[in-house]
Chain A
Amino acid sequence: MTFKTLSILTLSTALVACQATEAPKAEADLSYQDTLLTQLIDAKPGDVITIPEGKFEFDRSLSLTVDGVTIRGAGMDKSILSFKNQVQGAEGLLVTASDFTIENLAVEDTVGDAIKVNEGDNITFRNVRTEWTNGPDTKNGAYGLYPVQTTNVLIDGCVAIAAADAGIYVGQSKNVIVRNSRAEYNVAGIEIENTIDADVYDNVTAYNTGGILVFNMPNLTQYGANVRVYNNEVYENNTKNFGHKGTPVASIPAGTGLMVNSHDKIEFFGNKVRDHNTANMIISSIFSANYAESGMEETFDPYPQEIYVYDNEFSGGGDKPDGMDLKALKVAMFGLKGNFPHVLWDGYSDSAVADPKICIQGEGVEVLNADLPNGVKDPSVMTDEFKCDLPKLGAVTLSQGQ
């Protein structure tokens, strides 16, 4: 069994979806585009660029290169930047600057990512909505909120809907808080990737393919550690995977609540996680996404270690896993009407490390070792192997304050 089968199934579904013909594009009113482009170009540190109430059309991407700028709308349902007719640019708004705040507005229907911040310190997204208004679709852009290689990042009160990769994606960053936000109908709701020191709390992720993901990918500038995911509501993330084949998230089984991939030093506690068709939690290695080791830098550690799961409420789910292999495994082990345990582990571990320190606590929280490394020859339900404690991680403190 691999997670590959299911991504092939997903692709054929996506191809069918892609064949739908589009209505001819109506001429959009672009009159506000030049105004905002000019404001962004002329911006000086300390400026507040105000977006009025209304829906404004753009056909090109926006960019900001000046530190210390705030972009502020009248509300995430009142000031809407629409990129439905975009012909140029890989994102709606690209920011390469520090001390940046964006708040109270929405970015809709970009051809690529909605808002990308590439390198910068002290970055705040507050009450921002990113959405593809047509709902889940492989043709949608990859990321909604996308800070990458940033430090001191606050994502607060935001909403991310229908991204073809992750709604809220924090990559290769340090010192991050994601809170009070809602992600739905994305492939990945919230994804923390190659990030050091992140707190993800008081969020709601529902109706995505996977709810909250903590991933580590090879060949990048830094590897992740110290991520706390707590007090989130994670439920019914059962949407069919509509990610692009070849992207790492395309291998997420639909019906995944929490997911760890090749990442070390993570804590999950106080989360309410329920009704995920595959499993309320998956712990896996990048190998189960079926990538070649020769394409990975030698410094990359593909095995999840030091994962501490405690005091969560897991309920329901595990009864309709995604993909033929997982379905067959479920039936073989638990019967037609049975279900997987709450936690699914692919079984990859580093033979050079005696104890991977994966500690999973909780009444009735069992772990299925799928034994992928041996071709699912000997899958088993484990509990004692994961009964352990780890020292708790510290809270994140942002330079901009809380």
Chain B
Amino acid sequence: MIYRFVLITFAVLLAACSAQKPTPVFHAADNPAALSEWGVLALSGDRLELGQGVIPYDLNTPLFTDYAHKLRTIWMPEGMSASYREGDVLDFPVGTVISKTFYYPSDGDAVLKRDDLQPVSGAKGLDLRTHRLIETRLLVRRAAGWEPVSYVWNAAQTEAKLTRIGAIVKLTLHESAAETPFAYAVPNINQCAGCHAPNNTTKLMTPIGPKPRYLNRDYNYGGGAMNQLDKLTEAGFLTGSVAEPPKAAIWDDTALSVDARARAYLDMNCAHCHNPAGPADTSGLHLNIENDSAPHLGICKNAVAAGGGTGGRKYDITPGRPDQSITTYRMASTDPGAMMPELGRSLTHKEGVALIEEWIAAMDSVCDQPRAEPQ
């Protein structure tokens, strides 16, 4: 009898453990129909938990996606590690699985524009009674390169299923008394390359966020805050990190300079296309953080193929005049034919627009008088 009791207890404990901490699996070729088969994330009661050895991370300045929050994770098979690259994404080994789950604080059917009710930590997971999961995207480093795999969560929040053609999810965002209905777009697999192939000649897929300058910040792992690069090193996921890695500005940290915040914001939100090798190099507008050419940054630069994106404005940036700059017009627009970025949002990031407006307003250079003015 006692023996039987012990057995049952052990079985229950095992079940509890495996529900809480699944073991991640690297699928080298196939894309399973359910997210749960990756073991990177798992439901446990009312919580979304991380798999065994999965490390969450955050970025100093993230890409804006309709005020969605993002739970990002990195996992690698036993014994593998990424190597440090100063100005680039960490060099991840075959077998790496990076996940990004888009979710909102929620109240009934509404999704809320607000800070995390309960910041995710390695110890606690995400409380689904007060959060709604929308989609989980994976970038999987296979032998042939990075491949995107995308899962959409069902309304009951019980499972996330594979999608290749994406989806439109109708949501209503609540901010104080304001209610804004919008169409949240889950990209199709081809559209993943719209951001994740920042070199439009090689067209190679790559993660964008996990660069040293964006990872270099503290994260609350449950056992206390720790620098993310140090944590990856400690976990055996990173080799070659340096004593003082570069650090991008946190876009909304008002203790930092507006210039540093604006350049980090543009780098993260625009430079995957707007870089000298990117799909938007056709415009000559390069918003990558390394660019130091004023015309290529858009200062007094005419648009090339903006169409309705000009908003009737003459230059990408008219120094001192955000109200006369194409950049802020396109950031504020929600017209699919005019808005920037082209993909990944249906709503305007008001706070992001305000930052770029503040940055442009502080510029004191002047576009020289066009020669055609009568002399």
Could you list which residues of chain A lie within 8 angstroms of chain B, going by C-beta atoms? 1-4, 11, 34, 37-38, 40-41, 59-61, 63-65, 86-90, 94, 96, 110-113, 118-119, 138-139, 141-143, 146, 148-149, 164-165, 169, 171-172, 217-221, 244-248, 287-297, 348, 372-376
Contact = CB atoms under 8 A, between A and B. Distances in A.
Interface in B279-321: 279, 281-282, 284-285, 293-296, 299-315
Contacts of B166: 37, 60
A164 B309 CA distance: 11
A112 B336 CA distance: 7
B96 interface: no
Contacts of B300: 292, 294-295
A245 B315 CA distance: 11
Contacts of B190: 40-41, 63-65
Nearest to A300: B295
- The 9 A-B residue pairs with the shortest CB-CB distance, nearest first, are A142-B307, A246-B310, A295-B300, A219-B284, A375-B374, A112-B337, A111-B337, A292-B367, A90-B342
A59 B312 CA distance: 26
B282 A96 contact: no
A287 B305 contact: no
11 contacts: A37-B165, A37-B166, A65-B203, A89-B342, A118-B282, A142-B308, A218-B284, A246-B313, A248-B303, A292-B369, A375-B375
Contacts of A376: 374
Q: Name, among A34, A111, A291, A292, the residue most crowded by chain B CB atoms within 10 Å (CB to CB).
A: A292
B305 A292 contact: no
Contacts of B310: 244-247
Nearest to B326: A246
B295 A139 contact: no
Contacts of B185: 60, 87-88
A221 B275 CA distance: 12
A244 B335 CA distance: 15
A3 B311 CA distance: 19
A218 to B, nearest CB: 7
A293 B368 contact: yes
A287 B375 contact: no
A252 B310 CA distance: 16
Contacts of A94: 194
Contact of B191 (A1, A63, A295): A63
Interface residues of B, number: 61
B201 A119 contact: yes
A286 B92 CA distance: 47
Contact of A165 (B307, B314, B346): B307
B102 to A, nearest CB: 16
A94 to B, nearest CB: 8
Interface in B359-375: 365, 367-375
B295 A219 contact: yes
A253 to B, nearest CB: 13
A297 B294 CA distance: 9
B371 A295 contact: no
A248 B310 CA distance: 10
A61 to B, nearest CB: 8
A89 B343 contact: yes
Contacts of B343: 88-90
B375 A247 contact: no
A41 B31 CA distance: 15
B200 interface: yes
Nearest to B183: A87
A287 B371 CA distance: 6
B188 interface: yes
A152 B62 CA distance: 39
Contacts of A11: 312
A1 B374 contact: yes
A220 B282 contact: yes
A330 to B, nearest CB: 18
B164 interface: yes
B162 interface: no
B189 interface: yes
B6 interface: no
A247 B303 contact: yes
Contacts of A295: 294-295, 299-302, 315, 367
A37 B371 contact: no
A102 B359 CA distance: 44
Contact of B189 (A1, A41, A289): A41
A149 B282 contact: yes
Contacts of A248: 302-304
B223 to A, nearest CB: 42
B272 to A, nearest CB: 14
Contact of A292 (B201, B342, B368, B375): B368
A146 B281 CA distance: 15
B307 A247 contact: yes
A326 B125 CA distance: 69
A287 B369 CA distance: 10
A119 B371 contact: no
Contact of B315 (A65, A87, A218, A292): A292
B295 A88 contact: no
Nearest to A295: B300
Contacts of B284: 217-221
Contacts of B314: 245-246, 291
B243 interface: no
B168 interface: yes
A151 to B, nearest CB: 12
A356 B225 CA distance: 67
Centre residue among A63, A90, A373 by max chain B CB count within 10 A: A90
Contact of A290 (B188, B301, B308, B370): B370
